[in-house]
Amino acid sequence: MPPTGSSVTLREAGLQDIPAIVAVQARSWRESYRGLVDDDFLEAIPMQKWIESWRTHFFGARRDTRAFVAESGGRIIGFSGAGAADGVEGLGDAVAELHTIYMDAAYYGQGIGRRLMEAALDHLRQQGFTEVVLWVLEGNHRARRFYEAGGWRADGATGSDCWGATSVARVRYRLTLPPG
């Protein structure tokens, strides 16, 4: 349960935030993906591997990729991250990707996710991107409603990943960035 009277602040993430970000991501995956992927996979999330991945992807040599965190009571409760849409065939240089956005379930429905998304989208606008894509698990109906409420639309692209013993279908969404 969120602390009563606690305000939520957003800021750009730093290297020191990575362990807390990964902890939120693991909790969120266990909450959001239970029933969509293998329980054993969710319980065996490779935390150290994720920490290294965050270090490389969001805090490596890339200049266009940024992450943002939401804090309440001095604790990170959510995050977003966005940058170039690397490795996505058929997308031009003006298309970016919302790589990640997760938060603790106790904070759903308070507008914090929307604020995290806007922070990421504002960053992308400043980088000169005009369109953004994201991938979402096909069966993650809560997330899909969240994105659709924000103006995102499925663009027809699909894919799949293997998460543990489960093959999961994913759907790509796209958003044209309105001018800042």
- Between β-strands 8-12 and 75-84, what pairing exists: parallel, antiparallel or unpaired? unpaired
Task: Please tell me the distance from the alpha carbon of residue 25 to that of residue 104, in angstroms, as a whole number.
Answer: 8
Predicted pLDDT of residue 9: 97
The pTM assigned to this predicted structure is: 0.91
Question: pLDDT digit string (tens) for 108-155?
Answer: 999 999 999 999 999 999 999 999 999 999 999 999 999 999 999 999
CB-CB contact of 86 with 133 (8 Å): no
Question: pLDDT digit string (tens) for 150-173?
Answer: 999 999 999 999 888 889 999 999
> Which of 121, 14, 30, 123 is closest to 71 using CA atoms?
14
